[in-house]
Amino acid sequence: MAEVANSEGVTVEIERDGAIVRVMPFQPPQAQKMSREEAGEAELARWIANNEIRKQREAEQAERLRLKATKK
């Protein structure tokens, strides 16, 4: 009954031993949408983090090349 209630989005009622059993569809809580400002701030934070990682990788690569050149 729960599967029918969820898939059809309806309340299913049956009577059993004189009692009415009602099965209602389950609707999970909706994720709260971010405002445009919050979305922009989140994207900026992600971009900054990715940029820092890229800079760190480039610095590490430059250091490896420098060490390789000094070994020769």
Neighbours of 12 (CB within 10 A): 15
At residue 37, the pLDDT reads 92
Instruction: Return the pLDDT at 30.
Output: 65
Average pLDDT over residues 18-45: 84
Q: Phi and psi (nearest 5°) for 40?
A: -65, -40
Rounded to whole angstroms, the Cα distance separating 42 from 49 reads 11
pTM over 0.85: no
Q: Which helix (H) or strand (E) holds 22?
A: strand 19-23
Quick one: which of 46, 43, 4 has its CA closest to 25? Answer: 4
Query: Which DSSP letter does residue 45 get?
Result: H
Q: Calculate mean pLDDT across residues 16-32.
A: 80
12 forms beta bridges with: 23
